[in-house]
Amino acid sequence: MNLQISGHHIEVTPALRTYVENKLDPVVRHFDRVTGINVILSVEKLKQKAEVTLHVPGKDIYVEEEGDDLYAAIDAMFDKLDRQVQKYKQKVQDHHRGEKATHHMGE
């Protein structure tokens, strides 16, 4: 899995990088279809913004969050991402179940 963390108008410190990696770990731990992840952390005036794009086969899952505190924005972003990944996993599982059911019925 390719992970890229970049900053716009902010330095991605080792502490920030570790924080993002630790937040990301539970989201992707049980989901082996992730091929790449891009995280962008930025500061624009007084707003802190965190964006993530999760690359999975056939789809990119994009989530962004902003707030007064970058760590809070990162937390909220990964909460949203986790929900999106769960929805995607359920959709993939339902799709495969549907194929199997159709396949068995045709035999």
Altogether, the residues listed in the chain come to a count of: 107
The pTM score is 0.83
The dihedral built from the CA positions of residue 88, 17, 76 and 9, taken in this order, carries a sign that is: negative
Tens of pLDDT, residue by residue over 41-88, are: 999 888 999 999 999 888 899 999 999 999 999 999 999 999 999 898
**Domain layout of the chain by residue ranges:** 2-106
pLDDT more than 70, % of the chain: 87
Classify domain 2-106 by CATH architecture: 2-Layer Sandwich (3.30)
Q: For residue 30, how far is the Cα from the chain centroid?
A: 13
